[in-house]
Amino acid sequence: MYRVEDSAIIPRMTTQASYIGRFAPSPTGALHAGSLLAALGPGVADAQDNIVPIEVRQLRDGQFNRVFVDVTVCNAAQQCRTVPNVNVDTGAVGLHLYRKALDGLDLDAVRDDAGRPLYHGSIFGMGPLWGPTHWAQVRLGQVATSQPIPIQLFDLPSPLESLPASFRGDDARQRFVKAGNGVLGISPRRHATHGYFAYAGAGDQASDSDWIPVVVDESLKLANPIGQFPAPYDTGSVIRLPDVDWGGGHKQVQGWLGLGIGAPTESLFRVGARKVSHELDKHGKFAAAIGERRFDVLVDSGSNVLMLDLDHLGIARCASIKSFYDVATLTPLALTVTAGANEIELARPLYVGPAAELEKSYSGYGVLPALAIGPYREGAPSVLGLPFFYGRTVATGLQGSANPFHDEVSASNPLLSFDVEETVSLDDDEVASVDDNDLATAPSSLPKSAHGFIVYTD
């Protein structure tokens, strides 16, 4: 997750001690799964258990391009709480929840082999997020993890606590509380690998010597909930958001989060839409270019802007809003990507708009798609944030999962089922692959994706 924070566009807000409540009614109506499923057309209702509503909306002044979902967690006694307004983040891993949003639900602590409670320092674009890890069964829609998994809880900072020295400089917990009730990290990674500490002290007053950096077994690491769902919902996730007014903004838009890639979420892909697929590198990126400038890019629903170097196009930076690009009129960005052995220009352009004017005229809007920032530091990543998702269906495949599109461009091909008892075939009226690659491959012969994959409509 990379999130732009600048006092010129995101005003400072007072600390909220209470969690942020459920989706509020809006001019477009409340968020109801039944009505949204009907809007998607025939076939989607059959997948309702694993397709859940999401919404991009503003929870606080100055917030934009953040997509939220409801997440249910249960303890060992099968007592459960549904936590609303959890940010869906395809660039992060694991479930991170504001403890107060659990409304007193007691979750067992995750402990190392010595019986010491484990804490985790998660690194986000907003800064480090510190908190203890706990066991919880996680449910999205009607799909639950097969067993309890480690999740992270966080609280507001306390003047009485002592954090490990490496996490004292920039404590982001207050910023996270202002942004929602937590983060659902569903990147291609299955676990958060590093950043674990065992607490060896007694009571609540910790000293430096009480925090012991540890290497933990995979079973104790923060887990991507998607990878812990039962088959066929454990291969990845699919986000579908509607197209938007790129020249202005919206109060909110509603969309879908689907679980599983293949037959379980086929209804989220528009019939006839071209699909572009990328095998990711170990950093979760693929090759792209704008004009003559080439770069590796990350697709990340948790980032609220496009983060691209556009200086070579002669696009000026905004004088009043740090790092933002600013143009007099809406300007398209032609993005070329590498898909398999092909380089293609995407049919759907991205846009950069007049940042200062958008900030002034649409300050109460949760959807501002034409915002882009340049590199804010040396080596800053290139990121296709949530604006890339508007008008698209975007699938994020997990490490070790089979990619039914395996690294090619296709047009209107049905997604392949991973059920080995079913045969795979193309209907006569379907368009075959635009490349020589034959997508109609038996699921058992599909290659496993080492680092995960991205598939999106164009």
Give CA–CA dist 354/61, Å, rounded: 20
The residue length of the chain stands at 458
User: What is residue 404's predicted lDDT score, i.e. its pLDDT?
Assistant: 85
Give CA–CA dist 71/97, Å, rounded: 10
| Cβ-based neighbours of 121, under 8 Å, separated by 6 or more | 128, 129, 130, 164, 166, 167, 195, 197
Name the token pair of 31. 């968020």
Q: For the chain, list the domains and their CATH numbers.
A: 34-228 (2.40.70), 271-457 (2.40.70)
| Cβ-based neighbours of 77, under 8 Å, separated by 6 or more | none
Q: Which residues of 333-352 are buried (b: 16+ CB within 10 A; e: fewer)?
A: bebebbbbeeebebebebbb
Give CA–CA dist 225/392, Å, rounded: 23
Q: What is the pTM of this model?
A: 0.84
Vertex 252 angle, CA 67 and 25, to 5°: 105
User: What is residue 450's predicted lDDT score, i.e. its pLDDT?
Assistant: 94
User: What is residue 440's predicted lDDT score, i.e. its pLDDT?
Assistant: 33
Q: What is the pLDDT of residues 62-93, one digit of tens each?
A: 899 999 999 999 999 999 999 999 999 999 99
Q: Residue holding tokens 């938007």? A: 244
> Are the CB atoms for 57 and 28 separated by under 8 Å?
no
Alpha-carbon dihedral sign for residues 452, 455, 456, 458:
positive
User: What is residue 203's predicted lDDT score, i.e. its pLDDT?
Assistant: 63
Give CA–CA dist 140/260, Å, rounded: 12
What is the full DSSP assignment across 133-158? EEEEEEEETTEE-SS-EEEEEE----
Digit-by-digit pLDDT tens for the chain (458 residues) are 655 543 233 222 223 334 454 333 333 333 445 445 544 444 444 446 999 999 999 999 989 999 999 999 999 999 999 999 999 999 999 999 999 999 999 999 999 999 999 999 888 877 888 899 999 999 999 999 999 999 999 888 777 777 787 777 778 888 888 889 999 999 999 999 999 999 887 666 666 678 899 999 999 999 999 999 999 999 999 999 999 999 999 999 999 999 999 999 999 999 888 999 999 999 999 999 999 999 999 999 999 999 999 999 999 999 888 789 999 999 999 999 988 788 999 999 999 999 989 988 998 999 999 999 998 777 888 999 999 999 999 999 999 999 987 744 644 333 333 332 322 222 223 322 223 233 334 455 678 999 999 999 99
Give CA–CA dist 129/402, Å, rounded: 32
User: What is residue 360's predicted lDDT score, i.e. its pLDDT?
Assistant: 86
User: What is residue 23's predicted lDDT score, i.e. its pLDDT?
Assistant: 33
Give CA–CA dist 54/366, Å, rounded: 13
User: What is residue 139's predicted lDDT score, i.e. its pLDDT?
Assistant: 98
Alpha-carbon dihedral sign for residues 340, 344, 349, 352:
positive
Nearest residue to 333 via CA among 302, 303, 363, 312:
312
